[in-house]
Amino acid sequence: MAINKLLIANRGEIAVRIIKTARRMGIATVAVHSEADAEALHVRMADQSVCIGGAAPASSYLRIDRIIEAAQQTGADAIHPGYGFLAENENLPAACQAAGLTFVGPSAEAIRAMGDKAAAKALMQQAGVPCVPGFQGDQTPETLADEATKIGYPVMIKATAGGGGRGMRLVAEAGDFADALRSAKSEAKAAFGDDTVLLEKAIVSPRHIEIQVMADSFGTAVHLGERDCSVQRRHQKVIEEAPSPAVSAELRAEMGAAALRAVSAIGYEGAGTLEFLLDGAGHYYFMEMNTRLQVEHPVTEAITGLDLVELQLRVAGGQALGLTQDDITFDGHAIEVRLCAEDPDAGFMPQSGRMLRWTPPTALRCDHALTDGAMIPPYYDSMVAKLIAHAPTRDEARQALIRGLGQTRALGVRTNQGFLADCLGHPVFAAGEATTSFIGAHEDELFSGADEAKAAEIAAVLGRATHCALTHGFPTPVLLKRGEATHDMRLLSRPQGLCQIEHGDDRTELTVAPRGILRDGIQEEADLLRCGDAVWLHWNGRAWDFEDRSLAPRMAGKEGGDGKVRASMNGRVVALLVAPGDHVAEGQKVLVLEAMKMEHTHKSAVAGVVQAVHAVEGDQVEAHRILVEVTPNE
């Protein structure tokens, strides 16, 4: 029953991470990929690879039939689902069983019992585990709205078929419920193929605590302690750590025992995670069980010294776990951040494109599937890498992670690198006091846009200055744009790399140096990269991107003021909310795009009449394409 050849039914960093452990164990590997991932790193690392369909997940990574065919074609005897995609779809282990293949994970019955949030909640209530008050049942909008009122706002709408924040909406008041329900159901249908939702009372400002469990087929089960995943945006985790600053040894034992009761109740095998909300009084409430490996499993590996993928493979291969609860010890503290291709300043809008330069930190664990020139497609999750620091104390781990983030080069696609550093450096996080409301409560500090003007000046100097004076001796105009901000500068080059910059009312002198620039005699490391009109700068531990408009004609008026609504990213049109002839108000919603499994609403910048709609629902559109034209009112 030992595994000899493993097919990884996933992509990106988790596929690469599984391949590394399988290779160390002497297990041959097979990668599957979409047409969009033909040149991806996991494809190049595996011993064999098979293309299983088109770019969209529904045409490839969600096609169970093609995954089974790929395993049979290559002689693989086991399939690892990773996380996301089919990892919690009971039909995959069932198909594996029918085909005589080993599924690296729990049984279809266990996934069915715990993968459905409503069923899992009922099971937990039977086991005496505290649960959040809520409703599960009739899916008509009228009934759900009535039940939400009975529960009392705020309420949480949650897709029953999946996790990772997909199909989840926090609703503050009754007037917002209908739109939130439609959006949650649409997102759940696209991500999981099932738009069933449940309602729960929203616990205000809790901590998100999860317990890692591992069980074998011989009745042995252990928990590996907790992870604190409270720092989230859009109900998706951003920073995870172990152990939690808020969990005592006594509470850890109590929550661990509850998790093991759940495992025993369903005869669970493999790796799994039970997620809880922990309120300020120390009361915990069951949310859901993820019947798979978690994105944040590296922090548990760091403090326990265990390889969770190796344990998964050994258990799936019929071996005993070989561990008792007394064998589980914890060493130090570990913190992980998720580096995502997204724009925090634009509501964490997903980004896609080519990662022109990628240099991971040397002193941290970094799980990724990136290389210089790697393409970040718009079809999948926005996470591109995970950085993990492990140290004897929490603050040492935090400081090491801040340093490692600063050393990371990610140029070509906008990421949340700077935002992550700001979160780690915030006094509330440093004190171990962050809850799920952390990002929302500290928006002013985390989204301040500090240092952008200085970054623009450095980009102008490195992009235009030379080590000798310009012969005409006149200033050169430089116009850099970043989002809605415009940096209009005049740059005068002097001998020995000295540059004088006029930036509004400010006057600055910088000197070009071998590793960046000199400011007041102090060298600052800076790295510039150009690609057409795009200018990318790594400085002060983060990346900045600008559009060089120095040679472009000057235009007046705000973007979108011409009535043209353009796609803000590569994505799929999931909802058209207007038609030609409709009257729209300024700021009115006109369409919804889906990118990287998240929905993004587009609005008209002007009041007027819809003249044309250049897309239909289901269209895949590229960034900046004109989708709706509105004739402004006179």
* Nearest CA among 387, 379, 396 for reference residue 358: 387
- Indicate where the chain has its CATH 2.40.50.100 domain(s): 564-632
Phi and psi at residue 145, in whole multiples of 5°? -65, -40
Tell me if 453 sits within 8 A of 503, measured CB to CB: yes
Tell me if 442 sits within 8 A of 426, measured CB to CB: yes
* CATH number at 207-446: 3.30.470.20
Alpha carbons 326 and 305: distance in angstroms, whole number: 14
- Indicate where the chain has its CATH 3.30.470.20 domain(s): 207-446
For the domain made up of 5-104, give the CATH fold. Rossmann fold (3.40.50)
- Indicate where the chain has its CATH 3.40.50.20 domain(s): 5-104
Predicted local confidence at residue 559, as pLDDT: 52
57 prior amide bond cis, ω within 30? no
For the domain made up of 133-201, give the CATH fold. Dna Ligase; domain 1 (3.30.1490)
- Radius of gyration of the chain from Cα atoms? 26
Q: What is the mean pLDDT of residues 65-81?
A: 98
CB under 8 Å to 73, separation ≥6 — which residues? 50
- Average confidence score pLDDT of the chain: 92
- Token couple for 631: 């004739």
Task: Write out pLDDT tens, residues 5-35.
Answer: 999 999 999 999 999 999 999 999 999 999 9
Q: Is the pLDDT of residue 248 over 80?
A: yes
Classify domain 452-548 by CATH architecture.
Answer: Beta Barrel (2.40)
Q: What is the mean pLDDT of residues 468-481?
A: 72
Is residue 62 classed as helix, strand or coil in its secondary structure? coil
**pTM (predicted TM-score):** 0.84
Q: What is the mean pLDDT of residues 552-557?
A: 57
Q: What is the mean pLDDT of residues 103-125?
A: 86
Q: For 384-388, 427-431, 461-465, which range has the lowest pLDDT when averaged over its residues?
A: 461-465
Active site residue 414: no
Is residue 193 classed as helix, strand or coil in its secondary structure? coil
CB under 8 Å to 101, separation ≥6 — which residues? 68, 71, 76, 77, 78, 79
Please indicate whether residue 287 or residue 385 has the higher confidence score (pLDDT).
385
Task: Write out pLDDT tens, residues 153-185.
Answer: 999 999 988 666 789 999 999 999 999 999 999
Predicted local confidence at residue 484, as pLDDT: 82
For the domain made up of 564-632, give the CATH fold. OB fold (Dihydrolipoamide Acetyltransferase, E2P) (2.40.50)
Phi and psi at residue 444, in whole multiples of 5°? -60, -40
Alpha carbons 386 and 360: distance in angstroms, whole number: 10
- Indicate where the chain has its CATH 2.40.128 domain(s): 452-548
Q: Is the pLDDT of residue 389 over 60?
A: yes
**Identity of the amino acid at 186:** S
DSSP state of 164: T
- Token couple for 18: 């599984």
Q: What is the mean pLDDT of residues 450-467?
A: 84
Task: Write out pLDDT tens, residues 198-207.
Answer: 999 888 889 9
Task: Find the helix or strand (DSSP H, E) in which 98 lies.
Answer: helix 91-99
Q: b/e map of 367-380 (b: 16 or more CB within 10 Å)?
A: bbbbeeebbbbbbb
- Indicate where the chain has its CATH 3.30.1490.20 domain(s): 133-201
Q: What is the mean pLDDT of residues 351-372?
A: 97
Point out the catalytic residue in the list 227, 252, 292, 482.
Answer: 292
Q: What is the mean pLDDT of residues 424-448?
A: 94
Q: Taken in order 452, 454, 460, 462, is the CA torsion positive or negative? A: negative
Number of other CB atoms surrounding residue 39 within 10 Å: 12
- Write out the DSSP string of 285-351: EEEEEE-S--TTHHHHHHHH---HHHHHHHHHTT------GGG----SEEEEEEEESEEGGGTSEE-
Alpha carbons 538 and 524: distance in angstroms, whole number: 11
- Write out the DSSP string of 594-634: EETTEEEEEE-SS-EEEEEE---TT-EE-TT-EEEEEEE--
* Nearest CA among 85, 70, 11, 71 for reference residue 42: 11
Between the alpha carbon of residue 106 and those of residues 91, 92, 272, 292, the distances in Å are: 12, 11, 9, 8
